[in-house]
Amino acid sequence: MGQAESHKEMDLEQIQELCMAFMKECPSGALHLHELKRIFGIPASCEEETLYIETVFHSFDTNRDNALDFMEYTAALHLILRGNLEDRLKWSFKIYDKDGNGKLDREEVKNLIRIIYNIKRHGNPSETENLTPDQITDRIFDLVDKNKDSQISLEEFLDGAQKDQWVLDQLQLDIRPCGWFLE
């Protein structure tokens, strides 16, 4: 169910290659928000997609200097590419939880699903389903909101994503980290 995890360590040569690719793309030694928007192909006119990318960016900018240095970049890639499923889902939950109350309501989920839907449609139209963001949100709540309180707790989020591949595919944020200079 996509839960097999790869925990192999990177060797020095791989780290050096990653660093060289990072420095080639970011000669200043830092990845700035406008560069990340360019990588994802987010036009300035797309306010929601811009807000999403800003949220993702700031979740990895641990020293809050508005730039991702190589260590922050590497930590982000490690979480997304090699982190265990639960850690990746917890990070996804934090991105969804805009008000930080520890629960996801329909608007939070629908808003992020719509943004991701639009990003996927811009990047690769075949990745979007025949469902609308409203339909995806309704289906997620039907499958995940076990106590039917119209909110998804972290526990429900983790449980639902780990038990159903479709739910996992919808809830786990896919920010195409391989497009961040890995070829």
**DSSP letter string, 42-111:** --TT-HHHHHHHHHHHHHH-TT-SSEEEHHHHHHHHIIIIIS-HHHHHHHHHHHH-TT-SSEEEHHHHHH
Rounded to an integer, the average pLDDT of 107-123 is 79
Judge whether 129 lies within some domain: yes
Print the domain residue range for 170.
Answer: 12-179
Judge whether 1 lies within some domain: no
Percentage above 70 pLDDT, the chain? 83
Judge whether 53 lies within some domain: yes
Judge whether 165 lies within some domain: yes
Residue 118 banded pLDDT, cuts 50, 70, 90: confident
Which DSSP category does 31 fall into?
A: E
- Total structural domains in the chain? 1
The three-state secondary structure class of 30 is strand
Please check the confidence at residue 124 and state whether its pLDDT lies above 70. Answer: no
Mean pLDDT of the chain: 82
Which residue bears the tokens 């922050």? 72
Which has more pLDDT, 14 or 159?
159
Task: Tell me the C-alpha distance between 114 and 112, whole Å.
Answer: 5
Q: What is the CATH number of the domain that holds 171?
A: 1.10.238.10
Judge whether 109 lies within some domain: yes
Contacts by 119-128 with C-beta closer than 8 Å and gap 24+? 119/40, 119/42, 119/49, 119/52, 122/41, 122/42, 122/49, 123/40, 123/41, 123/176
Rounded to an integer, the average pLDDT of 107-116 is 89
CB 70 within 8 A of CB 22: yes
Task: Tell me the C-alpha distance between 34 and 101, whole Å.
Answer: 29
Instruction: State the greatest distance between any 2 C-alpha atoms of the chain, in Å, as a whole number.
Output: 51
Judge whether 3 lies within some domain: no
Judge whether 6 lies within some domain: no
Judge whether 59 lies within some domain: yes
Rounded to an integer, the average pLDDT of 23-51 is 84
Rounded to an integer, the average pLDDT of 65-80 is 88
pLDDT of residue 143: 95
pTM of the model: 0.75
Q: Is 89 exposed, middle or buried (0-12, 13-18, 19+ CB in 10 A)?
A: buried
pLDDT of residue 174: 61
